[in-house]
Structure 1
Amino acid sequence: MATTGFWPVKDRLKEVIDYAENPDKTIDKKYMDSDLYAALRYVSNDKKTDERMYVSGINCNAKRAYERMTATKKRFGKMGGNVAYHGYQSFQTGEATPEEAHKIGLETARRMWGNEYEVVVTTHLNTDNVHNHFVVNSVSFKTSRKFENHISDHYRLREISDAVCLEHGKGILKDAEFYGKSKKEYWRKQNGGLSHREILKADIDAALAQSANFKAFEIRLKDMGYEICRDENFAHYSVKGTGWQRAVRLDRLGKEYTPEAIRVRLLDNQRHIGYVPFHKPKYTPLLTLEIEYRKIQRMDGIQILFALVTELCRLVTGNNIAPETPRPLSPAMRQEIVKLDKTLKEYKFLCKNNIDSPQELVSFIEEKRKQIGALEKERQSVYNRNRHKKSGELNAQAREISAKIKPLRAELSLAKAVLEKIPKLKEVIEAERQAETAVISKNKERRYTR
């Protein structure tokens, strides 16, 4: 069985084609003898040949794919927007040989895009599970129409992939859910996020674990930032989270979240000997952190933005956190918890490179691009000198330059990801600040009304 997916490429087209055609990924020594491996590695590194293993072009010559795709865009005057689409088709470990995987990938791409678009298909062998990559021009060479990327296209790709796999004697995933039922849900899943319903289920479970009756359960949910729209007196209990446009009915989350099922869980808590009674915590971790950071004059720059998010996420991911420890209130902040490792990596990157403003980050990106460009130019010069000499020394020199480029590309990719993330984190922090302020106001109102 094979899993599939694709996403738009908004950056430079040549980068994604180079990645897909990377000889280090498309050639694996275990699939050939040493002499053939050495020969194929040489011709794969020569950008002016087309003798790469498991690299094919549909409606274009693979070695001229970038030039052909760019020419199509220029011909129709459509150089902006999404420059391409980058897709994958991944097989289970040991399910397909490289030859089988490549044939399946080619047939899948032909049926999906072959009538109108230029496509490069490569098979990567650098992981335990063989997988194909598709690079699709966003502009049709036949009609000039840009690929629109509807959620139905993602369904269609998987259906075509399943059909081709069955024709080649491979299994498929039957009746598997496809990233929810909307495009928004699909991209949220692609980015490692959680839906409102998934967050709500986790919060309900946490609230029920420390409640023995509906009143305590509701208080717990309110302190977590939820508004009770319909309580236990209504047939359909529903709540609404901070920043949500609509309320969610609990009975639509699953049979374990119906009013009857919740009541059974609450009664079970009353009978449970080791049950810990509900303790109402103070939900102001962000406001408290901001006060502390102001005291030590650390409220400027983008490093503090990443620091605040990681500290809030750690409050609920640490091993020694007490049950009454405050949790982030806004759903947006709780979504960041699943991406904590990535955010930590980005925060360490900013600190290591002493980057504390968007302007410094942009300068860093431009500098890395210049360094990569200079090394690529130097490597191309080596390729050109080695074209007829076939010198082992020049081959080694080219590999050394490639080794220098690899970490620079990793830093460039990380820096661009951080730059895109900054406005998103600002929105997350603001949503959490508003949620905590609202809880403080509610607590004051309760004290004054007693």
Structure 2
Amino acid sequence: MNRTEPMNRMKPMDRTKPTDRPDRPSLEDERMTVVELPPRAPESGLTADDVLERVRAYAATLPARAPEVERQGRIPADLLDGLRATGLLRAALPPALGGVELTAPQLTRAVDLLAEGDASVGWCAAVALNASLAVVSLPAEVFAELFPDPDLITATVLPPLGRSAAHDGGYLLSGRWPSASGITHADRVLAGFLTPDGAPRVAVLNAADVRVLDTWHTTGLRGTGSHDFEVTDLFVPDRHTFTPPAAGAPQPLHLRADNLALKMAGVPLGIARSALSCARELLTARGPALPRPSAPAELAHAEALIGAADAYVYTTLDRAWAAQAAGRAPERGTAALARQYAHRACREAVQHLYDLVGAAAVYTERTPLDRCLRDVVTAGRHVASAERILDAVGELRLGGDPSSPHL
């Protein structure tokens, strides 16, 4: 799409499709009905292991639905209900807010499991967990006002792309934000903006108050519905905004912004495992009639690429988490390097498997290989995993101080 095209020519999304919830009140209306919200407890006896087991069982149902998710360009309502039921959406919240507090390696593994079932579901779940960023900076009573249900789904675009004018204890917010993953099914939206004096802040919006633009026509991750959205002179009370938390700030371990960013490494790992499983099944079904004599060795090579990426990511995450739990700062840039490597190695593995299987890979209703390749390529375009991460980490290792927030 031509980014200079006037906004009034953009096609708005129909937010009244069955997967949406019509007639949702505005946040201001919700505020008027709130008197007092007591601390919310997690489900009785629910542990991190319980959440991971529920995620594993739920993820096993996703491959059969993945073609549907891609065709619709969004996650169907019943799959969203199933995702909520796993407890994952509350897994980064403290227990007082209904959370379970999975570690960064556990959150990454959960995203990994979901992405193996369907990359779009895994991606949207990872983005939805960013609602925990609001816990760091908002007073507890304001967070409870905005998130009365710990399983609400959040879309997030944190760069300060919006502009604002001061107005009656808050801001009149205007702007357009790109690639808001999950915006078609979100309950809340975190949108970065600049205050009138140029300071970056994040607004918590009701998703029903934003205008969704039909822009997400992509190679992969089609089911994420990562459309652009816009608002014009939308009033946002100051208490519904916060300063973006800085990486490494003295926050509770489960709520550190840099820890929440780590989970995205699970997406390429899950995609690649799905591709590997499919290729193995297809080649096994052929028996001795393999496409070429080297096929077994080539399959093993792809498995080695994925295994190396898995070991790199989770060893790095475990060490970083242990260091932080002991009060030490983990080495800066290491987790970002592992994440970027996972995207590169898994993309190579999936492309290798696609080529190995041959013509069978192009039949999208028979095999997920084509979708896996498109999904892993698209996922790797995200700024937190793109090739520029190598530049930033290399500069850091040579004594520089890169400003990248993704290290």
Which TM-score tier does this pair reach, normalised by the shorter chain?
Answer: under 0.3
TM-score where L is the length of structure 1: 0.25
Q: Which has the larger radius of gyration?
A: 1
- Structure with bigger helix share is 1
Task: Indicate the structure whose relative CO is greater, using CA pairs within 8 Å and at least 6 residues apart.
Answer: 2
What's the TM-score, normalizing by structure 2? Answer: 0.26
